[in-house]
């Protein structure tokens, strides 16, 4: 039974008491209050929790995206750059779609469109996963009557079509000649502001990511122990506070500590960063250098693969390599490891010695 009360502000409060349940909401108009009360009574009769008026008015998938973002921000987990970019893309492609119309067929069409625009199997898999996350969040947190089964069916269909799946693991390793050519190229360019040569060598020496290299600070350097603190390392579960200390040594053919000392000699401003440059500018310079030298299909991130592989080739164990790279398990670490079989001779000789 619903009870309506007109408040002094002119709004209407509606109270629903039914089967031992009690809920109430306030509306500007009595008609809105009546419609909500009717829906609430029906939900109670079905054994469901009545939907709050704010969420009951949500109709489009774009509104569900906004709801998800608001909830995450409220608990201090606002979307970071990668997830935020994907949410923006979903807002553009599916934001105006009515929740009821977001069925299997519509999601398959979305997948086909994304693939036609160049999205690979891994990227599209992430997109579909985020769609399911948004719908699941709306159902679990707010009790909205949305279904996630169409997302699962669409994923199966897109996987059968070859549009969703595992990506091809890169096994590109730079040769020593390529590394020498690149570093000499940047050393010989007086107009190159960023020390790309040192950054290339440091990337191989530490297996650090491009962005991490351009963020590490002098204040996080331990001179006595030759250790460096990397703050907020990338992690699929929790990036904030995921700090790691790594050793600066010469196990990969490049001496990380010596490179830092080179930078110390050049330090001439108040910037606390060891490499005070924009990581995107470094990446652009690296790509340009590869193009000018005719070095094909080499990405800066391949230097992280190279550093990781060299650590294994130097005889370090999985656990020891993970202390440098930051990987949590062998499955993830394996993706960054491309050992040269001929190096087994060197490893065996070192063990024998």
What is the residue whose two structure tokens read 């990668």? 82
Query: How would you classify the pairing of strands 21-27 and 12-18?
Result: antiparallel
Residue 212 is predicted with a pLDDT of: 95
Residue 53 has pLDDT above 60, yes or no: no
| Averaged pLDDT of the chain | 87
Q: Distance (Å, rounded) from C-alpha 140 to C-alpha 119?
A: 30
Q: Distance (Å, rounded) from C-alpha 261 to C-alpha 56?
A: 61
Residue 25 is predicted with a pLDDT of: 78
Which tokens belong to 5?
A: 């009360």
Query: How would you classify the pairing of strands 227-230 and 244-247?
Result: antiparallel
Per-residue pLDDT band at 287 (split at 50, 70, 90) = very high
Task: Please say whether the beta carbons of 145 and 249 come within 8 A.
Answer: no
Least confident of 143-152, 206-215, 288-297: 143-152
Q: What is the mean pLDDT of residues 58-66?
A: 89
pLDDT one-digit tens code per residue, 71-101: 898 888 888 888 999 999 999 999 999 988 8
Q: Select, from the ranges 21-25, 33-37, 177-181, the one with the highest average predicted confidence (pLDDT).
A: 177-181
pLDDT one-digit tens code per residue, 230-266: 998 887 566 666 899 999 999 999 999 999 999 998 8
Task: Please say whether the beta carbons of 249 and 255 come within 8 A.
Answer: yes
Task: Please say whether the beta carbons of 323 and 197 come within 8 A.
Answer: no
Query: pTM of the full predicted structure?
Result: 0.66
Task: Please say whether the beta carbons of 61 and 95 come within 8 A.
Answer: yes
Q: How many residues make up the chain in this entry?
A: 353
Per-residue pLDDT band at 347 (split at 50, 70, 90) = low
**Phi, psi (5° rounding) for residue 154?**
-65, -40
Rounded to the nearest angstrom, the gap between the alpha carbon of residue 240 and the centroid of all alpha carbons in its chain is 12
More confident residue, 106 or 57: 106
In a 3-state reduction of DSSP, which class is residue 68?
A: helix
Closest to 202 in 3D by CA, of 253, 242, 245: 253
Task: Please say whether the beta carbons of 202 and 208 come within 8 A.
Answer: yes
Task: Please say whether the beta carbons of 15 and 3 come within 8 A.
Answer: yes
**Phi, psi (5° rounding) for residue 273?**
-80, 140
What is the residue whose two structure tokens read 């990036």? 239
Closest to 143 in 3D by CA, of 209, 217, 74, 56: 56
Residue 141 has pLDDT above 60, yes or no: yes
Residue 315 is predicted with a pLDDT of: 85
Residue 336 is predicted with a pLDDT of: 62
- Distance between terminal CA atoms of the chain? 87
Residue 229 has pLDDT above 90, yes or no: yes
DSSP state of 99: G
Which tokens belong to 79?
A: 């979307």
Residue ranges of alpha helices (H) inside the chain are 30-45, 53-56, 61-74, 81-94, 104-116, 121-142, 149-160, 176-187, 196-206, 210-213, 256-266, 279-293, 302-313, 318-325, 330-334, 343-352
């Amino acid at each position: 039974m619903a009870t309506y009360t007109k408040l002094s502000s002119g709004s209407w409060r509606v109270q629903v008491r039914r089967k031992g349940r009690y809920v109430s909401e306030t509306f500007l108009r009595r008609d809105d209050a009546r419609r909500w009360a009717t829906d609430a009574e029906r939900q109670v009769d079905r054994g469901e929790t009545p939907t709050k008026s704010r969420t009951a008015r949500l109709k489009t998938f774009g509104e569900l995206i906004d709801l998800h973002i608001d909830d995450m921000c409220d608990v201090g987990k606002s979307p970071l750059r990668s997830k935020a970019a994907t949410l923006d893309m979903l807002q553009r492609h599916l934001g105006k779609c009515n929740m009821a119309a977001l069925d299997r067929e519509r999601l398959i069409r979305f997948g086909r469109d994304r693939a036609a625009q160049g999205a690979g199997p891994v990227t599209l898999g992430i997109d579909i996963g985020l769609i399911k996350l948004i719908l699941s969040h709306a159902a679990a947190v707010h009790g909205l009557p949305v279904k996630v089964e169409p997302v699962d069916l669409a994923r199966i269909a897109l996987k059968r079509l070859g549009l969703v799946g595992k990506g091809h693991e890169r096994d590109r390793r730079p040769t020593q000649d390529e590394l020498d050519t690149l570093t000499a190229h940047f050393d010989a360019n007086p107009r190159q502001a960023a020390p790309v040569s040192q950054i290339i060598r440091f990337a191989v020496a530490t297996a650090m990511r491009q962005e991490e290299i351009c963020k590490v600070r002098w204040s996080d350097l331990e001179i006595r122990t030759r250790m460096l603190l990397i703050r907020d390392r990338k992690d699929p579960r929790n990036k904030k506070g995921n700090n790691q200390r790594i050793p600066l040594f010469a196990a990969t053919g490049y001496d990380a500590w010596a490179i830092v000392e080179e930078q110390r000699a050049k330090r001439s401003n108040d910037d606390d960063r060891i490499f005070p440059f924009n990581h995107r500018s470094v990446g652009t310079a690296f790509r340009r250098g590869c193009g000018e030298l005719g070095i094909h299909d080499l990405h800066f991130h391949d230097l992280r693969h190279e550093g990781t592989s060299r650590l294994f080739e130097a005889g370090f164990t999985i656990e020891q390599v993970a202390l440098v790279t930051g990987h949590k398990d062998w499955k993830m670490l394996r993706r960054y490891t491309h050992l040269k079989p001929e190096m087994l001779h060197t490893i065996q000789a070192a063990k024998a010695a």
